[in-house]
Protein backbone atom coordinates (compact mmCIF):
# COMPACT_ATOMS: atom_id res chain seq x y z
CA UNK A 1 0.00 0.00 0.00
CA UNK A 2 2.90 2.36 0.66
CA UNK A 3 4.10 1.88 -2.93
CA UNK A 4 0.68 3.06 -4.15
CA UNK A 5 0.90 5.95 -1.67
CA UNK A 6 4.30 6.92 -3.10
CA UNK A 7 3.04 6.75 -6.71
CA UNK A 8 -0.01 8.92 -5.97
CA UNK A 9 2.11 11.39 -4.01
CA UNK A 10 4.58 11.69 -6.89
CA UNK A 11 1.80 12.32 -9.40
CA UNK A 12 0.17 14.85 -7.08
CA UNK A 13 3.23 17.09 -6.63
CA UNK A 14 4.46 16.87 -10.24
CA UNK A 15 1.26 18.25 -11.82
CA UNK A 16 0.28 21.44 -9.96
CA UNK A 17 -1.50 23.05 -12.94
CA UNK A 18 -4.70 20.99 -12.77
CA UNK A 19 -7.75 20.43 -10.60
CA UNK A 20 -8.27 17.58 -8.16
CA UNK A 21 -7.63 14.28 -9.95
CA UNK A 22 -7.97 10.59 -9.15
CA UNK A 23 -4.45 10.43 -7.72
CA UNK A 24 -5.29 13.27 -5.29
CA UNK A 25 -8.38 11.47 -3.99
CA UNK A 26 -6.46 8.20 -3.55
CA UNK A 27 -3.58 10.02 -1.87
CA UNK A 28 -5.69 11.91 0.68
CA UNK A 29 -7.89 8.88 1.39
CA UNK A 30 -4.74 6.94 2.25
CA UNK A 31 -3.47 9.82 4.38
CA UNK A 32 -6.76 9.89 6.29
CA UNK A 33 -6.69 6.12 6.82
CA UNK A 34 -3.07 6.03 7.98
CA UNK A 35 -3.63 8.98 10.30
CA UNK A 36 -6.65 7.29 11.85
CA UNK A 37 -4.62 4.13 12.40
CA UNK A 38 -1.83 6.02 14.18
CA UNK A 39 -4.33 7.89 16.37
CA UNK A 40 -6.13 4.67 17.34
CA UNK A 41 -2.79 3.06 18.19
CA UNK A 42 -1.83 5.97 20.45
CA UNK A 43 -5.24 5.91 22.16
CA UNK A 44 -5.15 2.15 22.81
CA UNK A 45 -1.57 2.00 24.08
CA UNK A 46 -1.77 5.27 26.07
CA UNK A 47 1.97 5.34 26.55
CA UNK A 48 5.07 6.92 25.09
CA UNK A 49 6.05 3.39 24.06
CA UNK A 50 3.76 3.86 21.06
CA UNK A 51 5.98 6.69 19.82
CA UNK A 52 9.06 5.67 17.87
CA UNK A 53 11.14 7.16 15.09
CA UNK A 54 8.87 6.00 12.26
CA UNK A 55 5.73 7.10 14.09
CA UNK A 56 7.13 10.63 14.29
CA UNK A 57 8.07 10.48 10.58
CA UNK A 58 4.58 9.27 9.64
CA UNK A 59 2.80 11.92 11.71
CA UNK A 60 5.03 14.60 10.16
CA UNK A 61 4.07 13.43 6.66
CA UNK A 62 0.36 13.40 7.48
CA UNK A 63 0.55 16.84 9.14
CA UNK A 64 2.18 18.38 6.07
CA UNK A 65 -0.36 16.65 3.82
CA UNK A 66 -3.33 18.03 5.78
CA UNK A 67 -1.85 21.55 5.81
CA UNK A 68 -1.38 21.31 2.04
CA UNK A 69 -4.96 20.04 1.71
CA UNK A 70 -6.20 23.07 3.64
CA UNK A 71 -4.44 25.44 1.25
CA UNK A 72 -5.73 23.44 -1.70
CA UNK A 73 -9.31 23.73 -0.47
CA UNK A 74 -8.79 27.47 0.01
CA UNK A 75 -7.48 27.61 -3.57
CA UNK A 76 -10.60 25.89 -4.93
CA UNK A 77 -12.91 28.12 -2.86
CA UNK A 78 -11.16 31.39 -3.71
CA UNK A 79 -12.72 33.43 -6.54
CA UNK A 80 -9.84 35.90 -6.89
CA UNK A 81 -7.30 34.44 -9.32
CA UNK A 82 -4.26 36.03 -7.68
CA UNK A 83 -5.13 34.76 -4.20
CA UNK A 84 -6.07 31.33 -5.57
CA UNK A 85 -2.70 31.03 -7.29
CA UNK A 86 -0.92 31.98 -4.06
CA UNK A 87 -2.85 29.33 -2.11
CA UNK A 88 -2.11 26.71 -4.75
CA UNK A 89 1.59 27.59 -4.71
CA UNK A 90 1.70 27.24 -0.91
CA UNK A 91 -0.14 23.91 -1.08
CA UNK A 92 2.34 22.35 -3.50
CA UNK A 93 5.37 23.85 -1.76
CA UNK A 94 4.32 22.40 1.60
CA UNK A 95 3.42 19.05 0.05
CA UNK A 96 6.78 18.90 -1.73
CA UNK A 97 8.59 19.35 1.60
CA UNK A 98 7.29 15.93 2.68
CA UNK A 99 9.12 14.12 -0.16
CA UNK A 100 12.29 13.23 1.84
CA UNK A 101 10.16 11.79 4.66
CA UNK A 102 7.95 9.82 2.23
CA UNK A 103 10.96 8.21 0.55
CA UNK A 104 12.62 7.55 3.92
CA UNK A 105 9.45 5.75 5.07
CA UNK A 106 9.92 3.43 2.07
CA UNK A 107 12.76 1.78 4.00
CA UNK A 108 10.20 0.10 6.26
CA UNK A 109 8.99 -1.94 3.27
CA UNK A 110 12.38 -3.70 3.16
CA UNK A 111 12.55 -4.62 6.84
CA UNK A 112 12.48 -8.31 5.92
CA UNK A 113 16.08 -7.93 4.75
CA UNK A 114 18.51 -7.89 7.66
CA UNK A 115 20.72 -5.27 6.00
CA UNK A 116 17.99 -2.61 5.94
CA UNK A 117 16.81 -3.57 9.41
CA UNK A 118 20.32 -3.32 10.84
CA UNK A 119 20.86 0.05 9.17
CA UNK A 120 17.65 1.34 10.77
CA UNK A 121 18.91 0.18 14.17
CA UNK A 122 22.25 1.93 13.56
CA UNK A 123 20.55 5.19 12.56
CA UNK A 124 18.24 5.07 15.59
CA UNK A 125 21.19 4.42 17.91
CA UNK A 126 23.16 7.26 16.29
CA UNK A 127 20.27 9.65 16.87
CA UNK A 128 20.25 8.69 20.55
CA UNK A 129 24.00 9.14 20.84
CA UNK A 130 23.82 12.56 19.16
CA UNK A 131 21.92 13.95 22.18
CA UNK A 132 25.28 14.64 23.87
CA UNK A 133 26.49 16.52 20.78
CA UNK A 134 23.39 18.67 20.49
CA UNK A 135 23.46 19.46 24.21
CA UNK A 136 27.03 20.79 23.98
CA UNK A 137 26.17 22.57 20.72
CA UNK A 138 23.14 24.31 22.24
CA UNK A 139 25.15 25.62 25.19
CA UNK A 140 28.02 26.88 23.02
CA UNK A 141 25.75 28.38 20.36
CA UNK A 142 23.78 30.37 22.93
CA UNK A 143 27.00 31.80 24.35
CA UNK A 144 28.46 32.79 20.98
CA UNK A 145 25.10 34.11 19.74
CA UNK A 146 24.75 36.32 22.79
CA UNK A 147 28.33 37.59 22.43
CA UNK A 148 28.05 38.38 18.71
CA UNK A 149 24.63 40.03 19.00
CA UNK A 150 26.02 42.07 21.91
CA UNK A 151 28.76 43.34 19.61
CA UNK A 152 26.10 44.08 17.00
CA UNK A 153 24.08 46.36 19.30
CA UNK A 154 27.17 48.07 20.74
CA UNK A 155 26.67 50.89 18.20
CA UNK A 156 23.01 51.37 19.30
CA UNK A 157 21.65 49.56 16.20
CA UNK A 158 20.58 45.97 15.72
CA UNK A 159 21.00 45.33 11.99
CA UNK A 160 22.93 42.05 11.64
CA UNK A 161 21.19 39.53 13.91
CA UNK A 162 19.84 37.35 11.10
CA UNK A 163 23.21 37.52 9.35
CA UNK A 164 24.95 36.39 12.55
CA UNK A 165 22.62 33.40 12.92
CA UNK A 166 23.26 32.37 9.30
CA UNK A 167 27.02 32.72 9.73
CA UNK A 168 26.96 30.49 12.85
CA UNK A 169 25.00 27.82 10.97
CA UNK A 170 27.36 28.05 8.00
CA UNK A 171 30.34 27.67 10.30
CA UNK A 172 28.77 24.58 11.90
CA UNK A 173 28.18 23.02 8.47
CA UNK A 174 31.79 23.55 7.41
CA UNK A 175 31.42 26.70 5.29
CA UNK A 176 32.32 29.61 7.58
CA UNK A 177 31.58 33.15 6.37
CA UNK A 178 34.35 35.41 7.70
CA UNK A 179 33.32 38.35 5.52
CA UNK A 180 30.52 39.18 7.96
CA UNK A 181 33.00 40.16 10.70
CA UNK A 182 35.63 42.00 8.65
CA UNK A 183 33.84 45.36 8.79
CA UNK A 184 36.17 47.56 10.86
CA UNK A 185 33.36 49.99 11.65
CA UNK A 186 31.39 47.38 13.63
CA UNK A 187 32.57 44.35 15.62
CA UNK A 188 36.13 44.04 14.31
CA UNK A 189 38.41 42.58 15.72
CA UNK A 190 36.39 41.01 18.55
CA UNK A 191 33.75 39.55 16.25
CA UNK A 192 36.43 37.95 14.09
CA UNK A 193 38.15 36.43 17.14
CA UNK A 194 34.88 34.99 18.46
CA UNK A 195 33.99 33.60 15.05
CA UNK A 196 37.40 31.92 14.74
CA UNK A 197 36.82 30.34 18.15
CA UNK A 198 33.34 29.18 17.11
CA UNK A 199 34.71 27.61 13.92
CA UNK A 200 37.49 25.78 15.75
CA UNK A 201 35.20 24.46 18.51
CA UNK A 202 32.48 23.22 16.15
CA UNK A 203 34.45 21.86 13.19
CA UNK A 204 37.44 20.44 15.08
CA UNK A 205 36.06 19.56 18.50
CA UNK A 206 32.30 18.98 18.45
CA UNK A 207 32.08 17.32 15.05
CA UNK A 208 34.85 14.89 15.96
CA UNK A 209 33.01 14.07 19.17
CA UNK A 210 29.92 13.37 17.09
CA UNK A 211 31.90 11.11 14.75
CA UNK A 212 33.27 9.19 17.75
CA UNK A 213 29.76 8.76 19.16
CA UNK A 214 28.48 7.51 15.79
CA UNK A 215 31.38 5.07 15.54
CA UNK A 216 30.66 3.72 19.02
CA UNK A 217 26.97 3.29 18.19
CA UNK A 218 27.80 1.42 14.97
CA UNK A 219 30.24 -0.91 16.71
CA UNK A 220 27.74 -1.75 19.47
CA UNK A 221 25.15 -2.74 16.85
CA UNK A 222 27.64 -4.57 14.61
CA UNK A 223 28.91 -6.71 17.51
CA UNK A 224 25.44 -8.17 18.10
CA UNK A 225 23.93 -7.66 14.64
CA UNK A 226 21.84 -10.86 14.66
CA UNK A 227 20.40 -10.36 18.14
CA UNK A 228 19.76 -6.68 17.44
CA UNK A 229 17.93 -7.45 14.20
CA UNK A 230 15.84 -10.23 15.75
CA UNK A 231 14.78 -7.92 18.58
CA UNK A 232 13.98 -5.18 16.05
CA UNK A 233 11.92 -7.54 13.88
CA UNK A 234 10.12 -8.92 16.93
CA UNK A 235 9.11 -5.44 18.09
CA UNK A 236 7.88 -4.64 14.57
CA UNK A 237 5.80 -7.84 14.51
CA UNK A 238 4.31 -7.19 17.95
CA UNK A 239 3.42 -3.62 16.97
CA UNK A 240 1.43 -4.97 14.02
CA UNK A 241 -0.81 -7.11 16.26
CA UNK A 242 -4.32 -5.66 16.49
CA UNK A 243 -5.74 -7.83 19.30
CA UNK A 244 -8.47 -8.04 20.48
CA UNK A 245 -9.82 -6.79 17.13
CA UNK A 246 -11.51 -9.76 15.42
CA UNK A 247 -11.85 -8.13 11.99
CA UNK A 248 -8.70 -6.32 10.95
CA UNK A 249 -9.07 -3.68 8.25
CA UNK A 250 -5.63 -2.63 7.05
CA UNK A 251 -5.29 1.12 6.45
CA UNK A 252 -6.76 2.82 4.47
CA UNK A 253 -9.57 0.24 4.54
CA UNK A 254 -10.08 1.12 8.20
CA UNK A 255 -12.24 3.98 6.89
CA UNK A 256 -14.73 1.29 5.77
CA UNK A 257 -14.62 -0.13 9.31
CA UNK A 258 -15.51 3.29 10.72
CA UNK A 259 -18.56 3.46 8.42
CA UNK A 260 -19.97 0.10 9.55
CA UNK A 261 -18.92 0.38 13.21
CA UNK A 262 -22.34 1.71 14.38
CA UNK A 263 -23.95 -1.50 13.07
CA UNK A 264 -22.22 -3.42 15.86
CA UNK A 265 -24.61 -1.88 18.37
CA UNK A 266 -27.70 -2.56 16.22
CA UNK A 267 -27.21 -5.97 14.62
CA UNK A 268 -26.65 -9.32 16.29
CA UNK A 269 -23.13 -10.66 16.70
CA UNK A 270 -23.66 -13.24 13.95
CA UNK A 271 -25.05 -10.72 11.46
CA UNK A 272 -22.30 -8.19 12.18
CA UNK A 273 -19.64 -10.89 11.74
CA UNK A 274 -21.20 -11.93 8.41
CA UNK A 275 -21.09 -8.34 7.12
CA UNK A 276 -17.43 -8.02 8.10
CA UNK A 277 -16.49 -11.30 6.41
CA UNK A 278 -18.17 -10.23 3.17
CA UNK A 279 -16.45 -6.84 3.22
CA UNK A 280 -13.04 -8.33 4.04
CA UNK A 281 -13.46 -10.86 1.22
CA UNK A 282 -14.34 -8.17 -1.32
CA UNK A 283 -11.60 -5.76 -0.20
CA UNK A 284 -8.74 -8.24 0.03
CA UNK A 285 -9.72 -10.65 -2.76
CA UNK A 286 -7.63 -8.91 -5.49
CA UNK A 287 -4.55 -8.67 -3.29
CA UNK A 288 -4.84 -12.29 -2.12
CA UNK A 289 -5.26 -13.47 -5.73
CA UNK A 290 -2.13 -11.56 -6.77
CA UNK A 291 -0.17 -13.04 -3.85
CA UNK A 292 -1.40 -16.56 -4.67
CA UNK A 293 -0.46 -16.27 -8.35
CA UNK A 294 2.95 -14.86 -7.51
CA UNK A 295 3.73 -17.54 -4.91
CA UNK A 296 2.54 -20.38 -7.16
CA UNK A 297 4.65 -19.09 -10.06
CA UNK A 298 7.65 -18.43 -7.84
CA UNK A 299 7.42 -21.85 -6.19
CA UNK A 300 7.16 -23.61 -9.55
CA UNK A 301 10.13 -21.70 -10.93
CA UNK A 302 12.08 -22.16 -7.71
CA UNK A 303 11.62 -25.94 -7.61
CA UNK A 304 12.12 -26.46 -11.35
CA UNK A 305 15.14 -24.20 -11.82
CA UNK A 306 18.87 -24.89 -11.43
CA UNK A 307 19.75 -26.45 -8.11
CA UNK A 308 16.23 -27.77 -7.54
CA UNK A 309 17.59 -31.23 -6.70
CA UNK A 310 19.47 -29.72 -3.76
CA UNK A 311 16.50 -27.66 -2.58
CA UNK A 312 13.78 -30.27 -2.99
CA UNK A 313 14.91 -32.55 -0.10
CA UNK A 314 15.03 -29.50 2.16
CA UNK A 315 11.47 -28.52 1.28
CA UNK A 316 10.14 -32.07 1.31
CA UNK A 317 7.84 -32.48 4.29
CA UNK A 318 8.78 -36.14 4.80
CA UNK A 319 12.37 -35.16 5.55
CA UNK A 320 11.58 -32.54 8.15
CA UNK A 321 13.14 -33.35 11.49
CA UNK A 322 10.08 -32.56 13.57
CA UNK A 323 8.17 -34.56 16.12
CA UNK A 324 4.48 -33.91 15.50
CA UNK A 325 3.59 -35.89 18.63
CA UNK A 326 4.86 -32.96 20.70
CA UNK A 327 2.13 -30.67 19.37
CA UNK A 328 -0.44 -29.90 22.06
CA UNK A 329 -3.83 -31.51 21.61
CA UNK A 330 -7.19 -29.89 22.32
CA UNK A 331 -7.36 -31.73 25.63
CA UNK A 332 -4.05 -30.14 26.65
CA UNK A 333 -5.36 -26.71 25.73
CA UNK A 334 -8.43 -27.28 27.87
CA UNK A 335 -6.19 -27.86 30.88
CA UNK A 336 -5.00 -24.24 30.88
CA UNK A 337 -5.78 -22.65 34.26
CA UNK A 338 -8.87 -20.49 34.46
CA UNK A 339 -8.25 -16.81 33.89
CA UNK A 340 -5.31 -17.36 31.49
CA UNK A 341 -7.26 -18.24 28.33
CA UNK A 342 -6.53 -15.85 25.53
CA UNK A 343 -3.06 -14.97 26.83
CA UNK A 344 -0.05 -15.42 24.57
CA UNK A 345 1.94 -17.14 27.30
CA UNK A 346 1.22 -18.43 30.80
CA UNK A 347 4.76 -17.42 31.85
CA UNK A 348 4.98 -13.97 33.38
CA UNK A 349 6.56 -11.28 31.23
CA UNK A 350 9.13 -10.49 33.94
CA UNK A 351 10.39 -14.09 33.75
CA UNK A 352 10.63 -13.99 29.97
CA UNK A 353 12.60 -10.76 30.01
CA UNK A 354 15.33 -12.35 32.14
CA UNK A 355 16.28 -14.62 29.22
CA UNK A 356 16.37 -11.80 26.66
CA UNK A 357 19.78 -10.65 25.40
CA UNK A 358 21.06 -7.35 26.71
CA UNK A 359 21.10 -5.10 23.63
CA UNK A 360 22.44 -2.06 25.48
CA UNK A 361 25.94 -3.51 25.84
CA UNK A 362 28.29 -5.30 23.46
CA UNK A 363 29.31 -8.96 23.70
CA UNK A 364 32.74 -8.11 25.12
CA UNK A 365 31.16 -6.00 27.85
CA UNK A 366 28.79 -8.83 28.78
CA UNK A 367 31.72 -11.26 29.01
CA UNK A 368 33.64 -8.88 31.28
CA UNK A 369 30.57 -8.51 33.50
CA UNK A 370 30.25 -12.30 33.79
CA UNK A 371 33.97 -12.61 34.63
CA UNK A 372 33.62 -9.98 37.37
CA UNK A 373 30.57 -11.81 38.73
CA UNK A 374 32.47 -15.13 38.84
CA UNK A 375 35.44 -13.43 40.49
CA UNK A 376 33.21 -12.07 43.27
CA UNK A 377 31.65 -15.49 43.81
CA UNK A 378 35.08 -17.13 43.95
CA UNK A 379 36.30 -14.58 46.50
CA UNK A 380 33.20 -15.24 48.60
CA UNK A 381 33.86 -19.00 48.56
CA UNK A 382 37.51 -18.45 49.57
CA UNK A 383 36.40 -16.22 52.42
CA UNK A 384 34.01 -18.86 53.69
CA UNK A 385 36.75 -21.50 53.47
CA UNK A 386 39.12 -19.36 55.52
CA UNK A 387 36.45 -18.77 58.14
CA UNK A 388 35.62 -22.49 58.25
CA UNK A 389 31.95 -21.93 57.37
CA UNK A 390 31.88 -24.54 54.57
CA UNK A 391 32.09 -28.30 54.64
CA UNK A 392 35.31 -30.33 54.21
CA UNK A 393 34.32 -31.39 50.70
CA UNK A 394 34.37 -27.74 49.58
CA UNK A 395 37.77 -27.22 51.27
CA UNK A 396 39.15 -30.22 49.48
CA UNK A 397 37.96 -28.92 46.13
CA UNK A 398 39.46 -25.51 46.87
Encode pLDDT of 213-239 as tens digits: 888 878 877 777 777 778 777 777 776
Q: Find, among 179, 209, 207, the residue nearest to 195 by Cα.
A: 179
Report pLDDT for 319.
44
Query: Whole-angstrom Cα distance, residue 195 to residue 188?
Result: 11
Q: How far is CA 217 from CA 133, 221, 225, 322, 367, in A?
A: 13, 6, 12, 40, 19
- For 155-159, 195-199, 243-247, 390-394, which range has the lowest pLDDT when averaged over its residues? 390-394
Query: Whole-angstrom Cα distance, residue 262 to residue 39?
Result: 19
More confident residue, 100 or 390: 100
Mean pLDDT of the region 246-258: 81
Res 337 pLDDT > 60? no
CB of 122 closer than 8 Å to CB of 221: yes
Tens of pLDDT, residue by residue over 263-274, are 888 888 888 888
Percent of the chain with pLDDT over 90: 1
Cis peptide preceding 279, ω within 30 of 0: no
Whole-structure pTM value: 0.62
Mean pLDDT of the region 166-188: 75
CB of 123 closer than 8 Å to CB of 226: no
Res 51 pLDDT > 80? no
Report pLDDT for 183.
67
Q: What are the φ/ψ torsions at residue 252 (nearest 5 degrees)? A: -90, 10
Residues 6+ apart with CB under 8 A from 258: 36
Q: What is the dihedral of CA 108, 110, 115, 118, to 10 degrees?
A: 20
User: How many residues comprise the chain?
Assistant: 398
Query: Whole-angstrom Cα distance, residue 175 to residue 208?
Result: 16
Mean pLDDT of the region 88-99: 87
Residue 345, classed as helix, strand or coil, is coil
Longest dimension (CA), the chain: 101
Query: Whole-angstrom Cα distance, residue 109 to residue 123?
Result: 16
Query: Whole-angstrom Cα distance, residue 226 to residue 215?
Result: 19
DSSP 180: G
Res 56 pLDDT > 80? yes
DSSP 17: S
Cis peptide preceding 7, ω within 30 of 0: no
305 pLDDT tier (thresholds 50, 70, 90): low
Alpha helices for 308-348 (secondary structure H): 308-315, 330-334
More confident residue, 230 or 188: 230
303 pLDDT tier (thresholds 50, 70, 90): low
322 pLDDT tier (thresholds 50, 70, 90): very low
More confident residue, 45 or 166: 166
Res 342 pLDDT > 60? no
Residue 189, classed as helix, strand or coil, is coil
Q: Find, among 83, 99, 73, 138, the residue nearest to 14 by Cα.
A: 99
Q: Find, among 31, 109, 42, the residue nearest to 67 by Cα.
A: 31
Residues 6+ apart with CB under 8 A from 180: 160, 163, 164, 167, 191, 195
Report pLDDT for 311.
45
Report pLDDT for 259.
85
- For 10-14, 239-243, 296-300, 374-378, which range has the lowest pLDDT when averaged over its residues? 239-243
Query: Whole-angstrom Cα distance, residue 254 to residue 1?
Result: 13
What are the boundaries of each domain within the chain? 2-110, 123-230, 242-305, 361-397
SS (H, E, C) 261-278: HHHHHCCCHHHHHHHHHH
Amino acid sequence: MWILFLVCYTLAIQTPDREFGLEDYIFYIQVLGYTLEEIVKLIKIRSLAALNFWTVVSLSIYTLAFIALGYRIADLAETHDKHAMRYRLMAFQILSCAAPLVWAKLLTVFDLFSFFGSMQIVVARMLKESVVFFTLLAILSMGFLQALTGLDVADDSRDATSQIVHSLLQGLLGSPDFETYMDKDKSYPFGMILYYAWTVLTIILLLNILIALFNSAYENVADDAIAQYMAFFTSKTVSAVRAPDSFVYVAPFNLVEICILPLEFVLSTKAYAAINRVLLTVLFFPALCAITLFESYYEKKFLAGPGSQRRRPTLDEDNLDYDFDEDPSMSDLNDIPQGTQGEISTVKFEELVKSFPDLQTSTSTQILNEVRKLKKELEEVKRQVREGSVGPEVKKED
